[in-house]
Amino acid sequence: MAKKILKVKAKASGGKTKVKMMAKHIMESGQRKDKKTGELIPAKFLQELKVEHGGKVVFEANLGTAVSKNPYIAFNFAGGAKGDELVMTWKENTGASATEKVKVK
Amino acid sequence: MSMNRRTVVKAIAAGSALVGASVMMPRVAMAAWTESAFKADKQDAAMKALLGSADAADSAEVTLKAPDIAENGAVVPVTVRTKMANVESISIFVANNPNPLVAEFIIPAGTEADVSTRLRMGKTSQVTAVVKADGKLYSAAKEVKVTIGGCGG
């Protein structure tokens, strides 16, 4: 099992759920050079991120290389209650992908 | 930028590896990551590839929150918000970045059009948020001054 990279805080209040996500990821842009060899470091970044709640997609992001290292994304959606499960799926440009789950607080 | 044979060969190899990976994993059904838009090096071209048009009407209803001066271009906090109905997506562009398209956020019904994230900026540039609502494009722009760039190194 790959290590979880997403750190998520989801809090339900007033009929909506606030979600704050932070992914631990280098977001290598493919434009930096290795200082020793002078060669470009190949790009490695999160490309797609999807959040589902109760089987319904509530948020999707397509990211480029200009998103900061350890990307942070915050959004709100209507509905959601304490104890509900959010399912996050991410995909890297290398093809790697994973699904992580988190409970709403 | 120096382009010797080695880097060219590597770039080609990396490119074909990418294509291979995407061919092997078509079952991951997600909103398409529009490669042509993310690879475009001009904002107009990126907008055309992503949203079908480069014409977005300036709108006061789109709120773009970004710092006036970003000390560190590697981490520029940005918030885009709008009260418009039927928002489909929010995209963020940085005109002077090597690839202006930063990210596209798909907003399904029930989700608020209020997204915060952090982005990289190579140098002082216009940051543009484009909101797609009811099939039309609305935008808000702001210049952010960067004292230390976030690209290269």
Residues A11-68: tens digit of each pLDDT = 998 889 999 999 988 888 878 887 888 888 888 889 999 999 988 999 999 998 889 8
On whether residue B19 sits in a domain, the answer given is: no
In a domain, B9, yes or no: no
pLDDT, one tens digit per residue, over A68-87 is 889 999 999 999 889 999 99
Residue A90: domain span: 6-103
Q: How many domains does chain A have?
A: 1
Q: Within a domain: residue B28?
A: no
Is B124 a domain residue? Answer: yes
Q: Measured between alpha carbons, how far is A88 from B100 in angstroms, rounded to an integer? A: 26
- B138 in any annotated domain: yes
Nearest to B117 among A39, A71, A79 (CB): A71
Interface probe, candidates A32, A46, A65, A97, chain B, greatest B C-beta count within 10 A:
A65
Contact assignment for B108 to A78 by CB distance below 8 Å? no
Per-residue pLDDT, A44: 87
**CATH number where B113 lies:** 2.60.40.2470
Q: Give B31: exposed, middle or buried? Use CB within 10 Å, 0-12, 13-18, 19+.
A: middle
- At A27 the pLDDT is 87
Residues B27 and B29: their CA atoms lie apart, in Å, by 5
A8 with A87: CB under 8 angstroms? no
Containing A20, the helix (H) or strand (E) segment is strand A16-23
- Residue B127 belongs to what domain range? 35-148
Inter-chain touch A64–B103, beta carbons under 8 Å = yes
Q: Quick check: is A49 in a domain?
A: yes
Contact A68 B150 (CB under 8 A): yes
ipTM of the shown complex:
0.88
Report if residue B30 sits inside a domain. no
Task: Kindly state whether residue A1 falls inside one of the protein's structural domains.
Answer: no
Could you tell me the CATH number of the domain that includes residue A93?
A: 2.60.40.10
Domain count of the fold of chain B: 1
